[in-house]
Structure 1
Amino acid sequence: MRRSVAVMTSAVTAGLLVLSACSSGSGARNTVTAVVTVSSGAEAPGSGDAGLGSAAPGSETAGSGSAAPGSETAASGSSAAASSAAPTGPVVTVDPLKADCGSLLNAADVKRILGADIPNDRLKVNVAEVNAEIGQVGRVRCLYGLAEDKKSGQVTLALTTYKDAAAAQQQVKVTVENESNQGGTVTPVTVGGYPASVAVRDGGLLVMAYDTWTLAVAVPASVDQATLTSTLPQLGDAVLARLLKS
């Protein structure tokens, strides 16, 4: 089954970067969740969209040349909370919602880091709905290795902005606790030099908070579960570094 990467929501349905685990489902999954918290006056990840799941209503842009349904344009191409340790460097101000999905991650990255083969196509979903009650401001999801219906991907990356860092960090905390409560094993790690956590629960899910936004990556149970605590942070490192340079 799949988890929806609503990693920053009070109820996390599987997966921010989700490899074949992007739509919500009722089956159990081994998911790895990585949470990173960076402070800069604002808190990190929030609720509502730390997860990536299947495409939600909103403007969708695919990357494989073929147009997806609706307004989609195809293009090719144990539990532990996050550590409160101080950031290792100055916070870089960026708008993650404007990032190009193709510049953040690709099939080659997935193969190199996770050892998994996925189609080299992608879809950017601008999610219309946001949860203002938890401070959400905007949400986008990047789906990689698209399914035939162009509504889900084998790997999902979710980026969510919040009104401030506190709201973002609170949602990350909620997400990690939720993963633990659902039987996930949470392990403290680092992403880009910042404190993070990885939770394994029938798949892998990595979530992090940076400044006033959050980043989540989720992968399915088909990926080697034994390596997720080391490989998901590496995937997060690549995405974060590219985002901060965008």
Structure 2
Amino acid sequence: MRRHLVLAAALSGVLLVSACGSDTGTRRTVTAVVTVSSGAEVPSGSAEASGAPAAAGSREATGSAAPARESPAASASPSVSAAPVVTGVDPLKVDCGAIISAADVKKALNIDIPNDRLKVAVAEVNTDAGQTGSVRCLYGLSDDKKSGQVTLRLTAYTDAAAAQKQVGVTVQNETDNGGQVSQTTVNGYPATVALRDGGLIVMDYDNWTLAIAAPASVDAATLTSGLPQLAGSALTRIIKA
């Protein structure tokens, strides 16, 4: 199954494939802004801690109305040592081209994708889950420019507790759908990798979530090790932007 972080079924958050798509709660409409760009890559060797169709987007940290049951895997977050969280960051304003590049994807996942991307503002968010806005970044675009080989989703929430809760919902849904879930860290912060028809990494940071979905063409070992690296590059650049 090819992924899309139009994240349409479940990361309908990071997320970033069909786990949390039952957005039955109250929604609000957000004007969609689409940006297509190509050309210069962001440097992959900067001092930071260190492909999927549009359907991958359904496996982000979404606004699913599913009950927020915490899975055993989600509750067993590893002990981490991380820098203090930087508050006041608005990840939705960051250009997709400044977050990750084709070179980052090659380094982390060992796949070659075109160096183009598409930024799409999600038109509907789940206000019942505390969502206030969400964007998708599609990388390595298809010919019709409607999907990407790698999908990243950023979702903002009313507060940090709401963001963390929705990550728990996503992890539980991945577990319920047969995903192989494991705990990891991204720049020292807790994150979860789920392997199911490709790979998904999802995490919360302050009052927002980051999710990245990658295609099933990448082997499980590379997804498990590479997705945290790719998310680390993205997180560092978003905070610095």
TM-score, length basis structure 2:
0.75
Deviation at 1:3, TM superposition (A): 3.6
Which residue of 1 is the match for residue 185 of structure 2? 190
Match of 2:82 among 81, 88, 99: 88
Match of 1:98 among 79, 93, 96: 93
Deviation at 1:64, TM superposition (A): 3.1
The answer to whether the Cα contact below 8 Å between 1:10 and 1:178 also exists between their aligned partners in 2 is: no
Which residue of 2 is the match for residue 16 of structure 1? 15
The size of the alignment, in residue pairs, is 200
Q: Deviations over 1:193-235 (max 9, x none)?
A: 0112211112000111000000000001001222211111011
Deviation at 1:16, TM superposition (A): 3.1
Residues 125 and 12 of structure 1: is their aligned pair in 2 closer, same or farther, counting only changes over 3 Å?
Answer: closer
How does 1:116-127 map onto structure 2 within 5 Å? 116-127=111-122
| SS in structure 1 at match of 2:112 | coil
- Please give the alpha-carbon distance, in whole angstroms, between the structure 2 residues aligned to 1:170 and 1:87: 21
Residues 170 and 15 of structure 1: is their aligned pair in 2 closer, same or farther, counting only changes over 3 Å?
Answer: closer
The answer to whether the Cα contact below 8 Å between 2:114 and 2:141 also exists between their aligned partners in 1 is: yes
| SS in structure 2 at match of 1:63 | strand
Q: Deviations over 1:135-174 (max 9, x none)?
A: 1001111110001111111111100000011111110000
Match of 1:64 among 13, 23, 38: 38
User: Structure 2 counterpart of 1:229, which letter?
Assistant: T
Residues 92 and 15 of structure 1: is their aligned pair in 2 closer, same or farther, counting only changes over 3 Å?
Answer: closer
The answer to whether the Cα contact below 8 Å between 1:79 and 1:184 also exists between their aligned partners in 2 is: no
| SS in structure 1 at match of 2:74 | coil
Residues 216 and 228 of structure 1: is their aligned pair in 2 closer, same or farther, counting only changes over 3 Å?
Answer: same
Deviation at 1:122, TM superposition (A): 0.5
- Please give the alpha-carbon distance, in whole angstroms, between the structure 2 residues aligned to 1:146 and 1:92: 32
The answer to whether the Cα contact below 8 Å between 2:15 and 2:209 also exists between their aligned partners in 1 is: no
User: Structure 2 counterpart of 1:123, which letter?
Assistant: L
| SS in structure 2 at match of 1:81 | helix
**Which one has the bigger helix percentage?**
2
Residues 176 and 10 of structure 1: is their aligned pair in 2 closer, same or farther, counting only changes over 3 Å?
Answer: farther
Deviation at 1:58, TM superposition (A): 1.7
How does 1:192-211 map onto structure 2 within 5 Å? 192-211=187-206
Match of 1:146 among 133, 141, 153: 141
Q: Does 1:134 align with 2:129?
A: yes
Which residue of 1 is the match for residue 43 of structure 2? none
Aligned Cα RMSD in Å? 2.8
Which residue of 1 is the match for residue 61 of structure 2? none
User: Structure 2 counterpart of 1:139, which letter?
Assistant: S
Match of 1:170 among 153, 165, 169: 165
